[in-house]
Amino acid sequence: DAGVIQSPRHEVTEMGQEVTLRCKPISGHDYLFWYRQTMMRGLELLIYFNNNVPIDDSGMPEDRFSAKMPNASFSTLKIQPSEPRDSAVYFCASSLGRYYYGYTFGSGTRLTVV
Amino acid sequence: KNEVEQSPQNLTAQEGEFITINCSYSVGISALHWLQQHPGGGIVSLFMLSSGKKKHGRLIATINIQEKHSSLHITASHPRDSAVYICAVRWGSQGNLIFGKGTKLSVKP
């Protein structure tokens, strides 16, 4: 298994532009998580899905952020419009079952908004 | 207030030393994770535990649910152990993870 695959690895964009981050979870995993990591706040949960359904999006900072999971093998996190304070590393993770067996992170997307 | 506190924040050790990283939390939890993040940025799940002790190679993780405390030990440390070690606790009906801010470990040869 190739693990959790995120793309792109790096993204540099101008303020105001739309940014889309992509994630392919491990096949068979039924939970998918989006996290953001910054120096100031560490790792924060943004949203997570169970069987493609969003369960808790209380960590999404504001309406500029949205996430979808149209099927079991793909999820996107979109920021529109992007702002410099959105600069961070965004991680996707997936797991099997509610008790996080096989909890696996992707390599992350480093986003820089200038 | 961060509900998961790690100490120390930074740790420098000589190769071969025994290392302990601590994690304290303030909420009732159902499980605790130890994660490792290398300088390249990738995050690896080391342990998930809800009681007692787990061992994998030179790494040992313990948890005391009553005292709301966990420790990660590294025996015979090596420069390749240099990384940020993150404690995360799972709580609540949905099982969300709350993360500590990490302990940056640097092992010198």
Quick one: pLDDT at residue A100? 64
Average pLDDT over chain B, rounded to whole? 90
Question: How many Cβ pairs within 8 Å bridge chains A and B?
Answer: 43
Identify the band that residue A40 occupies on the pLDDT scale cut at 50, 70 and 90.
confident
CB nearest B45 (choices: A44, A55, A104): A104
Percent of chain B topping pLDDT 90: 69
In the numeric block, the tokens 């100031």 are attached to: A40
Q: What is the spatial distance between Cα B89 and Cα A85, in angstroms, rounded to a whole number?
A: 27
Quick one: pLDDT at residue B92? 63
Q: What angle do CA B103, A103, A76 make, to 5 degrees?
A: 100
Q: Looking at this protein, which amino acid is placed at residue A84?
A: P
In the numeric block, the tokens 């070690």 are attached to: B85
Chain A residues with CB-CB distance to B44 below 8 A: 105
Residue of B nearest to A98 (CA): B95
Chain A residues with CB-CB distance to B101 below 8 A: 42
Q: What is the spatial distance between Cα A45 and Cα A53, in angstroms, rounded to a whole number?
A: 16
CB nearest B43 (choices: A48, A105, A110): A105
Pairing status of strand B103-108 against strand B10-14: parallel
Q: What 3-state class would DSSP assign to A85? A: helix
Chain B residues with CB-CB distance to A33 below 8 A: 97
Instruction: Determine, for residues A48 and B88 on separate chains, whether the beta-carbon distance falls below 8 Å.
Output: no
Least confident stretch, A90-99, B76-85, B87-96: B87-96
Does any CB of chain B come closer than 8 Å to the CB of residue A43?
yes
Least confident stretch, A101-110, B64-73, B85-94: B85-94
Quick one: pLDDT at residue B42? 84
Residue of A nearest to B39 (CA): A107
